[in-house]
Structure 1
Amino acid sequence: MEEKKKTGNSNLIVIKGISIFLVVSMLFFGFAFSVNATGVSFFLAPSKGTFFIGSTFTVSAYVNTKGNEINVVEVDLKFSPDIIQVTSPIAGESFVSEWLSPPSYSNIEGKISFRGGIPGGIVTSAGLISTITFRARGPGLARLEFLDSSRVLLNDGKGTPVLATTMSGIYDILIPPPEGPKVFSPSHPDSDIWYQNNNPSFAWEKEDAMTDFSFSFSQNPQEEPDTIPEGSNNFKSFEKISDGIWYFHIKAKKEGIWGKTSHAVVKIDTTPPEEFEPKVDTYSKLVYFETRDLQSGVNFYEVSIRDISKTLSQQPFFTEATSPFRIPYEKPGKYSLIVRVFDKASNLREEEIKFQLMNPFISYIEGKGIQLRGFLFSWWMIFLIIFFLISGTGYLIFYLLTQRGLRKGIKEIREALAEIEKIEEREKEARRLKEKFREEREKLEKRLRGENE
């Protein structure tokens, strides 16, 4: 009887143990289901950087819920107030829809606080809480850290805290390098103008604390000089530089620190515009001209036209013109037309053409040919036409001779000659008869005069 009682008590103890184990297991797994084992984390972006004193930069605070649904974030940040200070505590598109208390900060204590809620909860891997704007005020390493008072609460109706990890930031604040020296070009003072001078020179201001300079001269606008000192002089010149846009880069060493780079631009063009040939249309009284300049570009044209059939001592007078240019003369004569083209560096190219107006339909273009009703027949075309005319005439004669036969032709020539001889004999006979008739008439007249006497 006692043994049965002991056995029953033992079974009861086992059943109670199993029940407790099941309850604990359910509670444990239930909590593990509701809270991700890795927990929620705060992090900053960027988490590091280098900035100069006087500049501003932004840092954003984010939350990664790691699959958990949260509805409250409480952020307390600490920063180094002697190195950086807050200028704006909130910016950007925060996922926080309701601030439980306005974002606040203290540049004396070096603290920032955010308290916000998200009705309905949120699950996010990179939820933006806020973007903070800092100003760098002193040199050193500025730290931005989440305080232990920061919290994240689950959207489980209980406000279960689930913040597991935080990631701080560190920012290196440096003394800004000195500004580059003020540089200018005495030879090319205006950087927007093209110059013919290909011997540029540069000068720059030298402050008392500047000990060395480093410079370079190239066609790369982004080039940075090296840190090898070029001396302490504040003038540099170059000779026989090729055409194009050139950049002078210079930086100074001040109190042992190389400063920023200053730049000066020079534009060089020593080449005149490309050769061209004015084209005269005497029928329409128009002159056409056009060329190009590969560096600075064409600026303008000038035209001069003279009647050289009158005098050769007349100096050309130029006026600015565009193509086509209308010839102002109508009467026949010999004319000289000069076209000048200037590029934007004032380089000049000049082309001349001479022509002769004969009548409204035909003109002589010196060195070119003859223009008929606006169409120019060059000399080679004229010679070619004459050649074909002579060749064609010769061929026609040869063709006629070969078609009738040489003998037949000779026979016909002989017959023609014989016929001519007969005609000549007849003419001689006619002259004899005429002479005989004259003599007979004279005799008759004498006889008649004798009878009358």
Structure 2
Amino acid sequence: MIMANKKVFFVLPLFIFFIFTSRLNAATISLLPQARTFGIGQEFSVDIKIDTEEMYINAGQATLIFPVDILELSSVDKSSSVFSFWPDEPKISNDEGVLNFTGGTAKGISGGALQILKINFKAKRAGFAELTLRDAAVTASDGKGTNVLSALKGTNITIGAAAVPPTKSPPAPEALVETPKKIVREPVIAQKLPSKPELRVPLYPNEARWHNYIGETAVFWDVPADVIEAAAVLDKNPNTKPVNPEKELFTGKNLGVLKEGIWYIHVRFRNNIGWGETAHHKISIDTTAPLPFEIEMNALASDNPSPEIRYEIHDALSGISHALIFIDDKELARSTTTATTLPPQLPGKHLVVVRVFDSAGNSVEDTVEFEILPLVTPVIEFITESVSQGDLMFASGKSIPGAFIDVRVSNDLQQEIFTGTAQSDNSGNWKMTIDKPLSVGKYTISAVARDERGARSYPTGEEVFRVRPKTILSFGFIDLGWFEILLIVVLIIISVAGYISWWYVSKKNTREAYKIIVSRDIEKLTALLSDHLKGLEDLQELHDPKRLAQASFLVNKMKDVIAKMKKYLGQEVEKLG
């Protein structure tokens, strides 16, 4: 592990193996075969496989642990590996019981049983050997180094007939759904040759298709009551008739892990009359991805919006089935040819991905980035900046000669309200009339040039125009719509009402002031008359001529005061009115 960590900075730019965030839980690394028994001194091999579960990967690493007292790792074969380069070459340590490796491929690949390494062992002594994997990672070909490893599956190897598993047994390997059962019974007497066996192969049930996975394979059959022997053989000849019977009569036979290629299982029965007809079952296995390829284009930068892509693809075993083409992460087409013309693309950079599948479902991909150069952007030279509701709006400008000008109008919520197309003349002039009724508000207009190939320009900047209410009255440069007229009437009404209110309040305040003044003067008059009357009362009690003269003077004075007050109060009353 220390040595592996020292190489992280070398491997990181290619794989980023030690980033375990954003796991997609897809790929599985397995050891095959599962649960085998070998004799002491016997040599055998174990394969390291990756099931990508439809993910695309470009690298993998793992550490294999094995018991050095039971097994010796003699060699590693990477000749059939899907990995084409090894930043960390497979390194064997029979002292520590460790094998480390880090491998990768320049192209993304996918498959159910991708071959990574073949490991050759030699059995040293009897015992139970547990082979495990750890410190593993599988990197997706997503440009981010995402670790998509979800599971590790080891294997168990038994050496020698007397070997006993350790007290704490490792997890049992995945068992077959069913196992062949021994037939122990007395056969009945047959009247004719036995019928042809009906074969069942659970791992590979479909003879017509290719399979991209491997595992422990078994074939099963039902044994009729008259059968005394069965002969079964596995080879690559479609017409073999087995002649050597099995040592004992079973309901099937374990065939182990099959290698890539086309295999045939042949089974027939024998009864007391003789051998019956042979049944055949075809198994087609291809776990190797198609050969790497490269996408070719005439130019990686062009104003041609529909470039052609080409690719040479080959598969040595099951053959090429089809290719899936993606543009900017969106599936574009399924193709069975080696050349495809892309539909028109917008200006800018694009990423095309081609994934080639063989008939077994294995696949390899390649990517290429290309750029579509834009046409010259058109110019909007004139627009009607303000129009009455219901009137036509005009726009015009310049572009390349003979171009289609796609005009787009949006409201202030960036919702498309109108689209239309004009065509520029031989001088590049174009014009557009927008006759769609528009609501009152603010709008933006932009334009894109397009030629007959589908090539486009970048859009122009957005020009702003406004739609105002319909004009009812016009005074020179002043146009009044219903809204403006209503607003003016409302303002006049408010002004008149305000003036009347002010006048009324002002008059009311004046009357109140005069009321106070009149009340005050009446009080003064009353007090003055009261004083004069009291003086008269006092003089009346005295019968003195001098006093009577004074009384006459007071009476005259009172008449004078009353006359003045009558005139004054009359004026005040007029003011109150």
Task: Name the TM-score, length of structure 2 as normaliser.
Answer: 0.29
Higher helix share: 1
Task: Name the TM-score, length of structure 1 as normaliser.
Answer: 0.36
Find the structure with the greater CA-based Rg: 1
